Amino acid sequence: MKESTTYMYATETLGANVSQYSESVSLKLPQPLLEYHARIYKDRDDSNYMISTFEAQALIFLSRLLGAKRVLEVGVYVGYSAMIWSHAIGPQGKVTGLEFSEEYAQLAREAAKENGYENIEIHVGPAAETLPTLANPPEPYDIVFLDADKTGYPGYLNKILELSAPGAKNRLVRPGGIIIADNALRRGLVADSSSDNPWRPADFENAWEKQAVTALREYNEIAAENPRLETFLIPLWDGVHLIRLLD
Ligand SMILES: C[S@@+](CC[C@H](N)C(=O)[O-])C[C@H]1O[C@@H](n2cnc3c(N)ncnc32)[C@H](O)[C@@H]1O
């Protein structure tokens, strides 16, 4: 294709069929994790917090491409993506999760135990407070996955970069490590919040949603302008933003 426009398929049904087909020919997820995702989806009203099984496949592929062993996740919810990371990196690796809610963290810990993922550690509290406590880790992280409050993303990125200074001993993220930010397009609102976007909420101007969109734009821009970083924004799912630390 010569054109850059993302081809989103002519109808919603065709888009769903294409996604389903792509998922079916991509790497297999462990059956217990498929079942956990299905159970949360069925039982909980807030299940839209979870990444999809299709996105999970992409994250596993990416982490293995990078040979990742240590993953930091900001925003754990009930542990689905944390278990996906644990599966991706294997039992010798380590997943550190930061989660605001003690209730979610407890459910995530129980799920990890039940499913035999023993290398997940969760710190409870606002990530703006727990993230700095991870300074000077014994080994740097290979991947950071941002999936918490969107208004926090710019601050998380700045803190991660500060704790990963070039040449510093015990930096947070290694040179060549990646920072993945979920929902970087927010139903397209980050790129187009005009009334032409059918997913723009009626109360967008006054709502919290606008603050999230403003913060995501700021995040995408500060990453794009920082010479220490190389970026790529994938317009799949809700927008998956990738940063690679060059130094
Ligand atoms: C989208 S959900 C995470 C979903 C999870 N990554 C998954 O795919 O299974 C966002 C989570 O971030 C948490 N969160 C929101 N604000 C936070 C903050 N300031 N610090 C830490 N966690 C926060 C929420 O409690 C929620 O569990």
Instruction: Read off the pLDDT of residues 37-85 as tens digits, 9 standing for 90 and up.
Output: 999 999 999 999 999 999 999 999 999 999 999 999 999 999 999 999 9
Is it the case that residue 4 has pLDDT exceeding 90? no
Write down the mean pLDDT value for the chain. Answer: 96
- Residues with Cβ within 8 Å of 170's Cβ and at least 6 positions away in sequence, in order, are 135, 136, 137, 138, 140
How large is the average pLDDT for residues 81-90? Answer: 98
- What confidence tier does 7 reach under pLDDT thresholds 50, 70, 90? confident
Specify if 36 maps to a domain. Answer: no
Is it the case that residue 180 has pLDDT exceeding 90? yes
Specify if 32 maps to a domain. Answer: no
Is it the case that residue 1 has pLDDT exceeding 80? no
**Higher-confidence position of 4 and 23:** 23
Q: Are 119 and 68 spatial neighbours (Cβ–Cβ below 8 Å)?
A: no
Q: Are 241 and 219 spatial neighbours (Cβ–Cβ below 8 Å)?
A: yes
- Given this model, what pLDDT does residue 150 score? 97
Pocket test for ligand 1, best of 100, 102, 151 (most atoms within 8 A of CB): 100
Strand 141-146: give its sheet, edge to edge: 120-124, 94-99, 70-74, 141-146, 173-182, 240-245, 229-234
How large is the average pLDDT for residues 178-202? Answer: 95
How large a percentage of the chain has pLDDT more than 90?
91
How large is the average pLDDT for residues 170-194? Answer: 97
Specify if 10 maps to a domain. Answer: no
How large a percentage of the chain has pLDDT more than 70?
100
CATH number at residue 132: 3.40.50.150
Which 3 state secondary structure label does DSSP give 37? Answer: helix
- What confidence tier does 205 reach under pLDDT thresholds 50, 70, 90? confident
Specify if 127 maps to a domain. Answer: yes
Q: Are strands 229-234 and 120-124 parallel, antiparallel or unpaired?
A: unpaired
Q: Is the CB of 240 under 6 A from ligand 1?
A: no
DSSP 8-state secondary structure symbol assigned to residue 68: -
Q: Are 216 and 184 spatial neighbours (Cβ–Cβ below 8 Å)?
A: yes
- What confidence tier does 2 reach under pLDDT thresholds 50, 70, 90? confident
Pocket test for ligand 1, best of 44, 74, 76 (most atoms within 8 A of CB): 76
**Total domain count, the chain:** 1
Atom of ligand 1 nearest to the CA of 79: 9
The whole domain housing 207 covers 46-245
Which 3 state secondary structure label does DSSP give 162? Answer: helix
